[in-house]
Amino acid sequence: MLILFDQGTPVPIRPYLGAHTVRTAFQQGWDQLRNGELLAAAEQAGFDLFLTTHKNMRYQQNLAGRKIAVLVLGRQQWPQLRPHIQRVVEAVNATKPGSYTEVEIPSK
């Protein structure tokens, strides 16, 4: 699976997704694109999954008809996310084309 990390997605997640190819928006030269443009560019480039921390994405973007899956993490900070990394990995592995999933991360 080809995964695109949004700007706010903690990069330390990357090694836990070893079975997948991960690129960041910055690596792609897309760090200045807004979410709608970024989704379109990622889809056009053949990405399967967009991993983001942008919780309002489903309200701000029309996701209907998209081929790329969107996975939203409930926390942006790695120290809070790390104890729940298995939850993230499972959600990534369970994504289907065009799906939208939110992974809630407890605050404690």
pLDDT digits (tens), the chain, 108 positions: 999 999 889 999 999 998 899 999 999 999 999 878 999 999 999 999 999 998 877 656 667 778 999 999 988 889 999 999 999 999 999 999 999 999 998 876
Under a CB-based contact definition with an 8 Å cutoff, are residues 105 and 73 in contact? yes
User: For the whole model, what pTM was predicted?
Assistant: 0.91
The encoded tokens of residue 72 equal: 């939203």
